[in-house]
Structure 1
Amino acid sequence: MRVGVIGGGQLARMMVPPAIALGLDIRVLAEVEGSSAAIAASAVGDYTDAATVLAFAREVDVVTFDHEHVPQDVLAALVAEGIAVHPKPEALAVAQDKLVMRRRLTRIGAPVPDWAEVGSAAELGAFLEDYGGRAVVKTPRGGYDGKGVRVVETADGADDWFAAGGPLLVEELVDFRREVSQVVARRPSGEVRAWPLVETVQKDGVCSEVFAPAPDAGELPAAAAALAVRIAEELDVTGVLAVELFETADGGLSVNELAMRPHNTGHWTIDGAVTSQFEQHLRAVLDLPLGDTSPTAPWSVMINVLGGPEGQTMPERYPVAMADRPEVKLHSYAKSSRPGRKVGHVTAIGEELDDVLARARAAAAFFEG
């Protein structure tokens, strides 16, 4: 079975080991030479060019994605040729545009922040008046890791984005206790499995730490899993779906974002679950029976390695990190360091959360300087 992944980032890279273990032929259409997933890159080209993507896709049995940015007209060309695409273009469209996402989630009755589509400073100002003078503004497309998101307090706070053209999404500032994430996987025949709910910690808008399972969660995990499964079924998602959530101050849930691919908040599953999100994604897009999502230890902590000494790669510091923390798992994305860049992650598992967190932080410190 041949799986084609569009995009050469770290998510495609982390699909390679489970593909090898399952005996799959995995191929990657990378954007540039020397990408994170270069080890499996069978082609380098423009994922926005239909001819390039079609040439790649004709050599595989199913196409899936490292990111959500492939244009809908390119996806339509694949479907027209009878190529299996997972997640389907109609589902992927919801993850590609935050305004579309908010409309669809609102339509199916999922809990979301109060929001509006605004096309001018005057409209933004009116929203601010209704919501206490502060709000979150997001560009509908292209934002990630804190980019394309800002808190505004004045009507002219997004004038530069309005000048670029197109409407913006504005949302109320949610009064939340913490951020959590629910990752599930669904295959075309309908089977769905969920991993434990996790707590996420952000640093400058970028996911920094993930605790699995979310501590002191009470009844929240059952509610989050039911919500994520409902979203996956209502939107006909195939593959991995990550639902980023706010745990609100009153103990409820509010959907922040969706991602229809393996997700940063699920990286802990490589070392901390019976079936990783990357193996599960491959199973799902091929419509194979899904694996067990049970954790292999009471606690897992995943910490992103952000930045580090300029120009250095993670493996250059392996000797000291491995000697000091032989029990912590290290994952390099084959990227050189620069401030704030995700170059890899570390994961520790164990019996006591405080101990696991301390060990993971100690390991990450070797790479972040």
Structure 2
Amino acid sequence: MTSPLSTPGPTLGVVGGGQLGRMLGEAAGPLGIELIVLDPTPDCPASPVVRDQIVGEFDDEDAVRELAERSDFLTFEIELADPDLLERVETETGVPVHPSPDTLRTIQDKLVQKDALVDAGIPVPEYRAVDDAAELRAALDEFGTPAMVKAREGGYDGRGNAPIESPNDAESVLDSVAGPAMVEKFVDFERELSVIGVKGEGEIATFTTGENVHREEILRETIVPARAPEDVLERARSVARDVLELMDGRGVYGIELFETAESEILVNEIAPRPHNSGHWTIEGAVTCQFEQHVRAVTGRPLGSTEQRDPTVMTNILGDVEETQPAELHGLDTVFSTPRAALHWYGKRDVRPLRKMGHITLTDQGVNADGSAEDLDQLLARSRDLRDGVTFDKA
């Protein structure tokens, strides 16, 4: 049973204070839950909307202990959190950590993540661990080229991923990802899909399956519902639920999938936190992914994951050639467009391709299921809005 509310209410400590921490803070306030974030960047993006920020590294033991001492629950919004430290603090202080540190430990190493999925019978692309160029060339003899080389640890949002076109590039590609690596066989996919799932106390729920558009390994747009046949979408939901059953701990999980040319579903990667491809839920679903995460990790019942309307989310990325103070121009059209919503992440500086915000566009006039033609039009309108804003001062 959920405990009664009072003021001040319960406090959720979050390791990480970037844009996800900011949106968690925006979602937690109406629930009577206060946030404290731990982040190394003073005045981090989350700081204007949360009760307090502890300035410290994600693996700073003193800072994590202070966070636990001031919180009733702990979670994280970045995979760079230290699972061993979180596990130790949870054991010693009794402050629950969700998702579990062991889940974070599994997710942090892409090879361990893939092995866990395979052991559970969940389909993934073919892959191999590669410790040196000779092993990479041997794997390419089996997989063919192109293929994808991934850093096992530290990579997210496309960082640490490098396509390889020829065995002759083995040394340079391994140098570019740096550290222990793995290689995945190229997937001839029809679409990249994502399912945002959530685990509560004895509950599992999934949002409508989205379709992701990536360029240069960075998410550009998410279209919901995905423009895929219903049997493919059902298979995606089924695989996502299998993933959720495997994960330990309450919270939101972003599950990225490939729909192959043969209409099979393969798991690409999992994020044990709210995910960029779930930002559409703020306007497009009854209960957004951020509120669901706060509900889940604090032991509250989950909200409805029902989709309100067909929705497209477009990322606002840095369109500059070098780092400069962030100043976004061309916003009048966004503000004057009905059912368009701007989300600004509050980052002080813009860098090339840095995620600075997003725009969501919903269409109440479109059938709830959304025909492919209608969604194509909604996507085109969304791109026009996104392409009309710029950080370029010229």
1:73 to 84, 98, 105: 84
1:19 to 20, 24, 28: 28
Deviations 1:114-164 (A, max 9, x none): 111111211111111112243211110111222211122215524564699
1:342 corresponds in structure 2 to: 355
Give the match's secondary structure for 1:157: helix
Structure 1, unpaired ranges of 5+:
none
1:183 to 193, 196, 212: 196
**Structure-2 separation of matches of 1:343 and 1:198:** 21
1:199 to 211, 216, 223: 211
**Structure-1 separation of matches of 2:388 and 2:169:** 43
Query: Following TM superposition, by how much is the alpha carbon of 1:34 offset from its aligned partner in structure 2, in angstroms?
Result: 2.4
Q: Where in structure 2 are the equivalents of 1:207-356 lying within 5 Å?
A: 207-297=219-309, 299-308=310-319, 311=324, 313=326, 317-319=330-332, 321-323=334-336, 325-335=337-347, 336-350=349-363, 351=366, 352-356=374-378
State yes or no: 1:28 paired with 2:37. yes
Percent identical among aligned pairs is 39
2:384 corresponds in structure 1 to: 362
**Structure-2 separation of matches of 1:44 and 1:84:** 22
Q: Where in structure 2 are the equivalents of 1:73-152 lying within 5 Å?
A: 73-81=84-92, 82-152=94-164
1:5 corresponds in structure 2 to: 14
1:154 corresponds in structure 2 to: 167
2:3 corresponds in structure 1 to: none
Structure 2, unpaired ranges of 5+:
1-9, 367-373
The TM-score with structure 1 as length reference comes to 0.94
Query: Following TM superposition, by how much is the alpha carbon of 1:23 offset from its aligned partner in structure 2, in angstroms?
Result: 1.1
CA change 1:126–1:198 in 2 (3 A) is: same
Amino acid at match of 1:357: L
Deviations 1:268-324 (A, max 9, x none): 000000000000000010111100011111x1000000114664546654445423x
Report the number of matched residues.
366
Contact 2:149 2:182 in 1 (8 A): yes
Query: Following TM superposition, by how much is the alpha carbon of 1:229 offset from its aligned partner in structure 2, in angstroms?
Result: 1.5
Contact 2:150 2:177 in 1 (8 A): no
Question: How well do the aligned residues superpose, as a CA RMSD in angstroms?
Answer: 1.9
Give the match's secondary structure for 1:208: strand
The TM-score with structure 2 as length reference comes to 0.88
Deviations 1:312-339 (A, max 9, x none): 546654445423x243100000123332
Contact 1:121 1:155 in 2 (8 A): no
Amino acid at match of 1:224: A
